[in-house]
Amino acid sequence: AMAATVMQTALANGLQVGLPDDPTKQMGTPPGKLGSRSRFETLAKAPSDISSRSPLQDFKGMITPSDLHFERHHNGVPTIDPATYSLTIHGLVDRPTVFTLADLKRFPSVSRIAFLECSGNFRTGKETMTPQDICGLTSQSEWSGVRLSTLFREVGVREKASWFLAEGGDAALMTRSIPVRKGWDDAIVAYAQNGEAIRPEQGYPVRLFLPGWEGNTSVKWLRRIELGDAPWHTREETSKYTETIKDGRIRQFSFDIDARSIITFPTYPAQIERGWVEVRGLAWSGRGKVSRVEVSTDAGKHWQVAELQAPVLDKAHTVFRHLWRWEGSETLITSRVVDETGYVQPTLKQLLDARGPDTGGYHMNPVTAWLIKPDGRVLYQPDYGR
């Protein structure tokens, strides 16, 4: 075939440096070991001291680039050497066992595309909030690893084991109590994300991944699983990740993520032009598949069924799209999802009516609306659905 020793040394003055006047007239950058992001793309998460929010408004499709996956840590990202890493499973098991990373990778594996969302993923306030500001603590990856059920069988989980403790190896030694049935059902001990090793921010080298459940339960940097017969009532499932509901009750172990949708275009800070506009966004449910997304472009008076991008996967961000002709008048656009259990995404008022005004910030999934100004500016509408 073609001999391809391009004389790059002798002719290196032809290579592109900076922005070429005409890239068709200068040799380009040669193939490399790693690809790059274009210097013209300025994607970034929005970090705080405890989390970093995915720029939902910038994404196309359903996969979140791994370096833009949201972060939520309770004492930063640990550095863990995969060569010394191990996972210990003990407690109500016949065979307490220590698994190295290599051990875990020898077991039958599984992959699935699923979202991961922090249950504290709702902020509201000013008109100049983006989807990232409002609910940037959700992302989606293809996760691969070993089914926890496979490990349960391997260690001989005893019949009376009903809960397990998952413990992280970070500086917070994060712990959550999880019903054993989730382990038998669809939990994954994951070591890969979007084809490669899990990124440090997402739990390198190994995390628990509980499809559809509040993000905090998918314990990162997983170092230990203890089987028991009752929950531990750790700080993260009492002081935090609980919500006050009516009559002074405190709802605990509210694992499932309720169905939610959000328009990601057009949203602040986009400005649109008159004519056809593709309204698009993401919808998901922790309880299964998205059945339907409805979009209203007249402040909720009429609703139209949006198109869902195939494949519609279980417990996964699903792209919806609705083609809309905007004639230039001020209006509100909004979306709501219906999941396969028949749950319809509520308004903030419905949520507060159901839970009481003091419920706090967990598991808040209200419909979100955007005001289109006659000049095409798009503003978040914090008061919609109150």
Partner 1 sequence: DTLPERFGPGAFGFGRPAEPAQVATLDIDVRPDGTGLPAGSGTVATGAVIFAAKCSACHGAGGTGGPNGALVITDATPGKRPAKVIGNYWPYATTVFDYIRRAMPFNEPGSLTNDEVYALTAFLLHRNKLIDEKTVMNAKTVPAVRMPAQASYVPDDRTGGPEIR
Site for Co ion in 188-217 (CB under 5 A): 215-216
For Co ion, the binding residues in 105-164 under the rule CB under 5 A are 118-120
Count residues near Co ion (CB under 5 A): 5
3-state secondary structure at position 152: helix
Residues 361, 242: Cα–Cα separation, whole Å: 9
- Specify the stretch interacting with partner 1 by CB under 8 A; choose among 195-203, 237-245, 263-271, 374-382: 237-245
Q: Which residues ranging from 133 to 172 are in contact with ligand HEC (CB under 6 A)?
A: 172
Count CB neighbours of 198 within 10 A.
25
Other CB atoms within 10 A of residue 196 CB: 9
Residue 283 to residue 62: CA distance in whole angstroms: 10
The dihedral through the CA atoms of 80, 84, 89, 91 has a sign that is negative
Q: Which does 142 bind (CB under 5 to 8 A by kind): Ca ion, partner 1, ligand HEC, none?
A: none
12 binds ligand HEC (CB under 6 A): no
Residue (107 or 253) nearer to ligand HEC, CB: 253
Q: Binding of partner 1 at residue 339 (CB under 8 A)?
A: yes
Q: Which is nearest to 284 in space by CA: 334, 239, 340?
A: 340
Q: Which of 279, 277, 304, 278 is nearest to 293 (CA)?
A: 304
Based on the shown chain and the rule CB under 8 A, indicate whether residue 6 belongs to the binding site for partner 1: yes
Helix (H, G, I), strand (E, B) or coil at 200: helix
**H/E segment holding residue 53:** strand 51-53
38 binds partner 1 (CB under 8 A): no
Q: What residues between 337 and 356 interact with Ca ion by CB under 5 A?
A: none
Q: Exactly one of 182, 207, 220, 224 binds partner 1 (CB under 8 A); which one? A: 224
Among 33, 239, 325, 357, binds ligand HEC (CB under 6 A): 239
Among Ca ion, its own copies, Co ion, none, partner that 215 touches (CB below 5 to 8 angstroms by kind): Co ion
DSSP code of residue 213: B
Q: How far is the CB of 184 from its own copies (least distance, A)?
A: 19
- Provide the mask over 206-235, with x wherever binding to ligand HEC is found by CB under 6 A and - wherever it is not: -----------------------------x
Q: How many residues bind ligand HEC (CB under 6 A)?
A: 10
181 near partner 1 (CB under 8 A): no
Q: Does residue 7 bind ligand HEC (CB under 6 A)?
A: yes
d(C-alpha 292, C-alpha 340), whole Å: 8
DSSP state of 123: -
Q: How many CB atoms lie within 10 A of CB 218?
A: 25
Residues lying near Co ion in the complex (CB under 5 A) = 118-120, 215-216
